[in-house]
Structure formats: C-alpha cells, structure tokens
C-alpha cells in the first residue's frame, strides 16, 4: 500500500464521518520547551553508499551513518536526511541526539528477508517473545538508552512490507516473535512526527521503559485483517503524549501496556501520565483505545479526549485477567464519537493469555477509578460489556453524559463491577445506576497531570 493510497483512506474516513469529522485544532497538550534548535550538522544517506532503488539493501549504509553521527553527540547532534527514493534496509540502531528526517517522497522499506531482522533477547517485563517462547526479531528502527531522538520529516513513509511476516504467522512457520516497526527502549526525550507508517510486521510504534515521548501527526495503516498490527503501544513508560493521529490497523489503535504476568509484576515499571488527544481510526478486530491486556506493572493517570472511532469492534477497552496482577486506576476518557462500533465500552476480566504455566492465578489485578464521559455513538450494537473478576470487583467505574444509538435489545451486560452513572442512554446496568455526586469516588482529571515537553526545534515541523 503506497503513500497516495494511505492519503485516500484518510480522506475517505473524514468524509464518512461527515459532520463528526475530526476537528484539527491548534491546541496541543504536548508542552513546548525553550531548549534545542536546528541540528548543527546534516548528512545524507547517499553519502554512505545508499541507493534508493527499492532493490539494493542499504543496511550497512544506515549502520555506518549512525556510527558516523555518534561523533556529533556532544556537538548538538546531527540530522540524517533521507531523500526521495525507496531505501530498502534491514534493522538498524539509532544513536542519541539525532534527527532522522524523511523527504516527502522518501520511503524506508523493511527487508523481506528475516535474517535482516536479527533475533534479540525478550524484554524483561515479558519474559519471552510476545508470540513465541524465546527471543524476538529486532525492530526495523530501534534505539537503546538513547536521548533526544527525533524521527520525522515531510510526511515521508516507513513501510515494513509486513505481508511476508503475516503469511509466516498464519502458516505457523515463525521461530521467533515478529518485529515491531519502531521501538525505543530505556530512552527519553523522543519525538515521532509527520510520517506515514505502512504494513508493520507486528506492532507499529513501541516506546518501552521510556519517558518524555511525543508521537504527533502520524498516519498508521495496515490491512484490517493483518494480525496484531497495533498502532501505538506505550509500554512501562511515563510522560507520553499522543495527538493528531490517524490509525487504521488489524489490532488496537492505541494500547497502553506495562508487562506480562509475573514478569511485569517483578519488573514493576508502570505506565503513567499517558495523554491521547485527537485520535481517529478504525479496527474491525479490537479497540480504539485499550489498556492491557499486559498491564502487570500498573497503569495510571491516563487522559484521553477527542477520540473518533468508526467501523470497529470496540471503542474503549480495559483487558486483564487473573494472573496479571498490577492495576489500572485514575483513567479519564472524554469526548468520544463512535460510528458503526460493535461494543462501545468493554471491561474484560477474563482476557486470559499467559506467557507460561508459572504465573500465579491468584495475582489479581485492581481496576478502579475509571471515568468515561461525554460519549456519543451511532449504529452501536452493544453499549457496554463490563465483566470484572469474581472476588475482585472492578470498582468506581463512572459513566456520564453517554448517548448511544444501540441496535441490541440487551444494551448492557455487567458482572463483578461497581460504580456510578448519570445521564446515560440507554439506561445502564444495576451495579452502575447510582447517581454521580461530588462526594463519590469517581476519578476527575487531576491537576497534577503533567504536560509532555518537546524541544522547540520540532514545532515548525507540525503539518496540522
């Protein structure tokens, strides 16, 4: 799928939503700082022997460019410019204080040879590859312990050519977990903006154990039947801001995670202060915004607003299971528009996939203080499927100002949940029928929610 087709899909989505089309406003929840400036040094990938014909493998050129750019880390950093062309490459590793800039007609193509994506150790908070025991293929673009990294451009494209990986997955021929498109590990001060991501082999953008991450003005597209092509997955990370994004993929558009069962519990690295602002998209197998199911390190202080989901299975989902441990708390989601969605709100306490047999089934997650406010929906099948865990009720689930046009005769099903509601149509289930009062335990947007800072040098690159 090329960049032109991607743009057509976005335009059709906006047309489909009609009067509810995404309102692109100038306001940003990603705070701008006064630090930074243009990179004092620029090099072009062709200076390292790269050929943009879509056939020549340029992995060595990218590796050599990164090695060269380390010499500028203490000199204000440098920009690696990717000009128009199709630049085929295997996995390569980023360095600190770098801007990877793609021209509007530049395409970084992921190799279709699995050996060009080396196998690495599993993440400690997962204990194994997410799909298979053992290691995992390294992401196309990856950074370890880097700081001040910008991946941006004039709406250039990163294409993972993932169909070969999807076929291996469906055929059961993979030996290791599939690679992500972009992954930052133990890193900080990261910006990803003004790019199109196509056809990722697995998850698209995965900041894990990171802080101060901004993902802004990106388009992420994969076929709706492509397996597990999550859009953006903040994982055991803090101070993450996602805004002005269009995502159309084969799994969750945004999924907030923090490790898997006993590995995530022992690693104990939560995701906190996650902001999602102006998101639009569709997924016919999963959710627009999901928390979990891997949330064993804990998730808190999540704020999402101006969310528009259409032609999808779920709007908002919290997924967990006995054995997960951890918690989900202090979540505030507001300003959601749904159209042609099967389940508007789902809490699933039996999302039971586990890494191995050594997990503790008595490690129960705590789900509390989740507020969902100001939701409208047209042609919604089920308003809510809210299923907690016996002996571990999900508490202080608060719903208000929700108006859904529902086609099912049983709009709500609830078990092992408790909370409050007000101005909800159709009328919600009994455990949530108590009215919301100021003295209730509902979570309101915290004044302590932090803005995510980004350097001034990127503000001029915003395309919306």
User: Rounded to 5 degrees, what are φ and ψ at 264?
Assistant: -70, -35
Active-site residue, from 251, 306, 393, 422: 251
Residues in CB range of 212: below 8 A, 6 or more apart: 188, 189, 190, 239, 452, 453, 454
Kindly tell me the sign of the dihedral angle through the C-alpha atoms of 121, 127, 130, 133: positive
251 is catalytic: yes
Q: Residue 385: which of 316, 329, 320, 331 has the closest Cα?
A: 316
Q: How many CB atoms lie within 10 A of CB 298?
A: 22
CB 381 within 8 A of CB 412: no
Segment (H or E) for 206: strand 205-208
Write the DSSP symbol of residue 122.
Answer: P
Q: Note the residue count of the chain.
A: 464
293 cis-preceded (ω within 30 degrees of 0)? yes
Q: Residue 372: which of 384, 356, 389, 354 has the closest Cα?
A: 384
Rounded distance between C-alpha atoms, residue 102 and residue 119, angstroms? 27
Rounded distance between C-alpha atoms, residue 246 and residue 233, angstroms? 14
Positions annotated as catalytic residues are: 251
């Amino acid at each position: 799928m090329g960049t032109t087709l991607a743009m057509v899909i976005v335009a059709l989505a906006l047309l489909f939503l009609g009067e509810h089309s995404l309102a692109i406003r100038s306001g940003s929840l990603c705070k701008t700082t006064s630090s930074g400036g243009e990179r004092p040094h620029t090099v072009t990938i062709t200076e390292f022997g790269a050929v943009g014909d879509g056939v020549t493998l340029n992995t060595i050129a990218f590796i050599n460019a990164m090695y060269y750019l380390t010499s500028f880390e203490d000199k204000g950093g440098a920009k690696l410019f990717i000009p128009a062309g199709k630049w085929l490459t295997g996995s390569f590793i980023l360095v600190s204080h770098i801007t990877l800039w793609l021209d509007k007609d530049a395409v970084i193509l992921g190799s279709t040879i699995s050996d060009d994506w080396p196998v690495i150790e599993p993440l400690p908070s997962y204990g194994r590859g997410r799909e298979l025991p053992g290691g995992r293929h390294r992401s196309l673009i990856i950074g370890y312990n880097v700081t001040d990294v910008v991946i941006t451009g004039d709406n250039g494209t990163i294409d993972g050519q993932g169909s070969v990986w999807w076929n291996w997955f469906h055929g059961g021929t993979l030996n290791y977990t599939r690679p992500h498109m972009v992954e930052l590990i133990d890193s900080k001060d990261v910006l990803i903006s003004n790019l199109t991501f196509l056809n990722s082999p697995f998850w698209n953008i995965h900041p894990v154990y990171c802080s101060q991450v901004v993902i802004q003005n990106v388009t992420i597209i994969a076929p709706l039947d492509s397996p597990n092509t999550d859009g953006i997955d903040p994982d055991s990370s803090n101070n993450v801001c996602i805004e002005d994004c269009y995502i159309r993929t084969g799994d969750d558009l945004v999924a907030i995670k923090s490790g898997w069962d006993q590995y995530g519990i022992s690693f104990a690295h939560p995701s906190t202060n996650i902001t999602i602002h102006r998101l639009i998209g569709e997924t016919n197998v999963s959710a627009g915004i999901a928390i979990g199911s891997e949330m064993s390190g804990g998730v808190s202080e999540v704020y999402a607003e101006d969310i528009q989901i259409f032609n999808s299975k779920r709007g908002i989902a919290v997924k967990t299971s006995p054995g997960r441990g951890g918690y989900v708390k202090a979540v505030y989601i507001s300003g959601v528009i749904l159209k042609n969605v099967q389940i508007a709100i789902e809490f699933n306490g039996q999302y039971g996939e586990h890494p191995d047999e050594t997990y503790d089934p008595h490690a129960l997650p705590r789900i509390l203080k989740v507020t969902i406010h100001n939701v409208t929906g047209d042609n919604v099948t089920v308003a809510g499927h809210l299923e907690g865990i016996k002996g571990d009720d999900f508490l202080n689930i608060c719903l208000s100002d929700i108006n859904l046009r529902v086609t099912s005769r049983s709009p709500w099903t609830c078990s092992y949940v408790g909370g409050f509601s007000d101005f909800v149509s159709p009328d919600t289930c009994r455990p949530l029928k108590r009215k919301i009062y100021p003295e209730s335990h509902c979570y309101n947007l915290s004044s302590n929610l932090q803005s995510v800072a980004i350097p001034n040098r990127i503000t001029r690159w915003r395309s919306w």
